[in-house]
Amino acid sequence: MDTQTEDKAWISTFTERGVTYAASLFWQPLLNENKPLPEIKEASENIMEGADLYVTRKGKSSQFGLASSSQGFTAGMPSAAVSLISGLGPVTSFLGVFKVSSGWWYICFRNDVILSDGDTLFISEKDAKNQLIAMLSVPDWDIVFAPADWGIEDTKADHLGPMLERGIQAKLAKVNASNDTLMMAVIIACFAVILWFGYSTLKDLFFSQPDEPVIAPVEIEQPKMPKEPDPWISMNNPLDVMRQCYLATQKVIQIVTPGWKIEGITCTPATGIVTSWRREMGRLTWIEQALNVSGVNFSSRVLSRDGNSVMVSVPIGEISKWNSPPEYYEDDLINIINDLNQTLDINIGYTPKVWVSPRGTKFKLLSYAISSNNDPLIWSDLLMKFSGLTVDTITYDINSGNWTYKGEIYEIQPDK
């Protein structure tokens, strides 16, 4: 547990039913869940500098959470957020505050995404309550949890322990794990397999039970499941995503303070803008004053322990939903992208991918990435030509003026 809490409003861990859980992780979208480490290492170096631990959460919107051992986290701690989300099953949007051993844990899970500031273990009950009430203005929550003595209507006060125990335990791991550790794990696994094989062989030889009579199974007709909706029926409108991310970015880059340098800016439909400033000279009060008078509405601010960096989250405007069925097969899509690359002298990178739905349905798509000095308002006209397209992440490097766009394009499914 983080014992030096005087200088910040949150702490890192709580204990429930004898298990110490990690909270207050910084969550980011994970584009490649099969090879997550490159994204995680990049984020630990550029977005949350000093983060040396991570955990991943797989789902329709896969994510990774970052943490720093200097703030009381240790490898092997299970993530409280992942345990609760998996313990609640098919719920895709919930909000809550739970009274725990070391404070008040605030969790915000919206449309299958943990918001960047949606996993916070507050020291102050007032801070946690204010955060919950602020998010209650957003409609359409499946469940809202709150302590019973707060007296908030339409909320549940379920005990946290059983819900955590029902979920999976995704544990923090080191961002830069050594090869020795990996080799030791392989050796232990092989040794365990050998022991199990030997035990199973002896058991079969000396302790096997006589064969039981075979009973023919009774076939029970299962009720038919309703048809699974296609994922493109209700997608974030990419035009809204690009426009709102661009407008919010323009507000943030206007905040200029002598001695403080703004770092990379990341925008997603779920988390809004996330960015930070790092001190090169001057005082902490200078950047605090600049943020206070900027007129920008911040959803969260986090000061580093040494006072040399400030990380903020900024909400973006409303993103509409639309139905955008795919129009091309994979080969046609690749040919169109290659032609655009050659015609415009650009480099749209792409990777074929298969997304498996919760029911096991496979959907083919292309993951794409574009790096350009053209802003989202210019790219929107071109990208909107692709039906079935999503814009998942937009990043902006203020020093080079470079924009990076990442997302996916659904293909016509061969079996549909």
pLDDT, residue 414, reads 76
User: Which residues, given as ranges, of the chain have pLDDT below 70?
Assistant: 1-8, 177-227, 415-416
Buried/exposed code over 324-334 (b: 16+ C-beta within 10 A; e: otherwise): bebebebeebe
Distance of CA 27 to the CA centre of its chain: 5
Distances (CA, A) of 349 to 235, 364, 382, 402: 22, 17, 15, 16
As a whole number of angstroms, the distance between CA 96 and CA 272 comes to: 20
pLDDT, residue 185, reads 52
pLDDT, residue 110, reads 87
Tens-digit pLDDT profile for residues 250-306:
999 999 888 999 988 999 988 899 999 999 988 888 988 899 888 898 888 888 888
pLDDT, residue 206, reads 47
pLDDT, residue 164, reads 93
pLDDT, residue 8, reads 46
Contact (Cβ atoms closer than 8 angstroms) between residue 114 and residue 271: no
For the record, the structure tokens of 42 come out as 């990049």
Contact (Cβ atoms closer than 8 angstroms) between residue 347 and residue 334: no
pLDDT, residue 7, reads 39
As a whole number of angstroms, the distance between CA 243 and CA 377 comes to: 6
- Exposed, middle or buried, 41 (CB in 10 Å: 0-12/13-18/19+)? middle
